Structure 1
Amino acid sequence: MMTKKSRNIIIGVIAAIIIIAVGWFSFGKKSGDQKSNHVVTVGIVSETKPKQVIWNKAAKLAKEKYGVTIKIKNFTDYNQPNKAVKSGDIDLNSFQHYAFLKAWNKANHGGVVAIGRTEINPIRLYSKKYHKLSDIPKGATIAVPNDASNESRALFVLKNAGLIKLRKGKILVSAADVIKTSKNIKVKEVSADQCGRVINSVDAAVVNNDFAGPAGLGKKQTIFVEPVNKDSLQWVNIICAKKGQEKNKDYQAVVKAYQTAETKRLDKKFYGDMTKPAWDVKF
């Protein structure tokens, strides 16, 4: 017959086993959850070979230095990556500049924030008639895109080139905000995809990078390059997260893994002077 003492010992042993089991499953599960939180999914748009190489390098560093695994999710639609971040389907995205994010947040009631800068893709002032900026004559006609966002950017390019002055205090400007021109410059507004095509009928044109190549415009026709300064800050590309996650350590590790000398080297290798790293530029 089991003594009272023996019964107490058995009960104590069983209780101990239960406590250990509960602790194991609780802490074991917690540990597993923490580990899964070190996987960060980054959304990009239209993945190219250069992008793939750059993000692979960043992923390697993130894993080795910060213990964070980066997974890339490719999108073909510019409207999807922000929706995916806001809904929590992905953790971060890297495809847009500040101006695009601001417009998207305004149209979609916010929810996405920038947590780190990447690069800027400077646009250019081209001419087939003149070889340098100082050759632009008085009364010259310069074509710029006529949509609000691209026109504003183009006019700031002309401002930085010293060809016009703009009304102060505005981030988004139009031809109506040109208050002075150094050479009585005439601004001609045309659709963005036509700026390169009208180059022969104007003295110069500010042409978006996507349309410059097809129009046969390159270094030879470039007379001014958009500088990286406070006027071009809104065109700097960024890494974004869901609002409230700005200080997430794993997300910041991804930013640090991207913002490296190796990324600069690869940008130079693949894009030449068409892309400029912008994370360590003072605006």
Structure 2
Amino acid sequence: MRNTTKITAAVLAAGALTLGLTGCSSDEGDDNTLTVAASSVPHAEILGYVKDKLAAKEDLKLEVREFTDYVTPNTATQDGQVDANYFQHKPYLDDFNKKRKTTIVPVVTVHLEPLGLYSQKADDLAALRSGATVAIPNDTTNEARALKLLEENGLIKLKPGAGNEATPKDIAENPRKLEFKEVEAAQAPRVLGEVDAAVINGNYAVEAKLSPKKDSLALESAQNNPYGNFLAVKKGNEDDEQIKKLAKLLASPEVKKFIEDTYDGSVIPAAG
């Protein structure tokens, strides 16, 4: 179950998915059309903005296909059913490539759905009491992310070399004697009132009507963050001209502004 949970939860951090496979364009059959597999929110929405507002100026024809699962977008990219995908982050892709013997590679990082530390009992980090109970996600990827967030904000220190599978057992220093309650990521907002603080994924925070930008005590930064979501292709296709055009648009100031205006901090653009 540990490995299964790891794969599922890793891509939950990459965004929610819709209930069906749909083509968002009538361009099928056009050899010049770039077809991209994506999860619904925010990935397909961002690609939709590119298609409607930006693609024409680069002479790019774009088709967006929404997938309901976290396996098919990569396998479809590997076997050429689609040209690229946009739904995942590096720790998930590394694990996928290793287990599936695929050769998918990142092209350009577009956004981050940040983890944040929230509390109904403390207004800032300084007010988080000694001995406080902090809820953290119990799946491999998000648990390590949560602990790294706490470390980056001076609440704990992890052992040297603690990586993407870190757990509370890897904490080397815990000056505030924080206690940890491991819960399913989706349950974190629901236990917020029962603990002193909770680390919550961006998508679940928004569902719980929490604003990552306004309500969090601490929030992941998009800069150099391994959990940024990116456009990906089969290795060898990185220099395709159509892929280059799409990568350029996804990294553009226009897309950065669209993300900032649309998602109010629940999605952070990777572009500077």
TM-score of the aligned structures, taking structure 1 as reference length: 0.78
The structure 2 residue matched to 1:42, chosen from 25, 28, 36, is 36
Summarize the Cα distance change of 1:47–1:184 in structure 2 as closer, same or farther, 3 Å threshold. Answer: closer
Residue type of the alignment partner of 1:188: K
Point out 4+ residue stretches in structure 1 off by more than 6 angstroms: none
The structure 2 residue matched to 1:242, chosen from 234, 243, 258, is 234
Question: 2:173 is matched with which residue?
Answer: 180
C-alpha deviation, 1:216, in angstroms: 5.0
C-alpha deviation, 1:59, in angstroms: 5.9
Rounded Cα–Cα distance in structure 2 between residues aligned with 1:72 and 1:182: 49
The structure 2 residue matched to 1:226, chosen from 201, 210, 220, is 220
Does residue 64 of structure 1 match 2:45?
no
Question: 1:20 is matched with which residue?
Answer: none
> Hey, which of these two has a bigger chunk of helix by percent?
1
Bigger shift: residues 176-185 or 85-94: 176-185
Question: 2:192 is matched with which residue?
Answer: 199
TM-score of the aligned structures, taking structure 2 as reference length: 0.81
Question: 2:4 is matched with which residue?
Answer: none
C-alpha deviation, 1:73, in angstroms: 1.5
Matches within 5 A, 1:249-260: 249-260=241-252
What is the percent sequence identity of the aligned residues? 32
Rounded Cα–Cα distance in structure 2 between residues aligned with 1:149 and 1:156: 11
Rounded Cα–Cα distance in structure 2 between residues aligned with 1:197 and 1:59: 38
Rounded Cα–Cα distance in structure 1 between residues aligned with 2:222 and 2:41: 25
Rounded Cα–Cα distance in structure 1 between residues aligned with 2:84 and 2:260: 24
After superposition, give the CA deviation of every residue in 1:208-251 in whole Å (9 maximum; x if it has no partner). Answer: 22332444544664211112344xx2210000001111222221
Task: Tell me if structure 1 keeps the 8 A contact 2:107–2:238.
Answer: yes
Question: 1:151 is matched with which residue?
Answer: 143
C-alpha deviation, 1:256, in angstroms: 0.3
Rounded Cα–Cα distance in structure 2 between residues aligned with 1:51 and 1:182: 43
Rounded Cα–Cα distance in structure 2 between residues aligned with 1:53 and 1:141: 37
Question: 1:274 is matched with which residue?
Answer: 266
Task: Tell me if structure 1 keeps the 8 A contact 2:47–2:64.
Answer: no
Task: Tell me if structure 2 keeps the 8 A contact 1:114–1:238.
Answer: yes
Rounded Cα–Cα distance in structure 2 between residues aligned with 1:136 and 1:262: 39
Task: Tell me if structure 2 keeps the 8 A contact 1:119–1:278.
Answer: yes
Summarize the Cα distance change of 1:81–1:54 in structure 2 as closer, same or farther, 3 Å threshold. Answer: closer
C-alpha deviation, 1:267, in angstroms: 0.7
After superposition, give the CA deviation of every residue in 1:82-128 in whole Å (9 maximum; x if it has no partner). Answer: 11100100001111111221121122112211011100111110101
Residue type of the alignment partner of 2:184: S
Does residue 122 of structure 1 match 2:114?
yes
The structure 2 residue matched to 1:100, chosen from 82, 89, 92, is 92
Task: Tell me if structure 2 keeps the 8 A contact 1:54–1:263.
Answer: no
Question: 2:48 is matched with which residue?
Answer: 55
Question: 2:257 is matched with which residue?
Answer: 265
Question: 2:24 is matched with which residue?
Answer: none
Q: SS at 1:118's partner residue?
A: strand
Residue type of the alignment partner of 2:123: H
After superposition, give the CA deviation of every residue in 1:167-198 in whole Å (9 maximum; x if it has no partner). Answer: 12232111111110231212221222222222
Residue type of the alignment partner of 2:137: P
Flag the structure with larger Rg: 1
Residue type of the alignment partner of 2:80: G
CA RMSD of aligned residues (A): 2.1
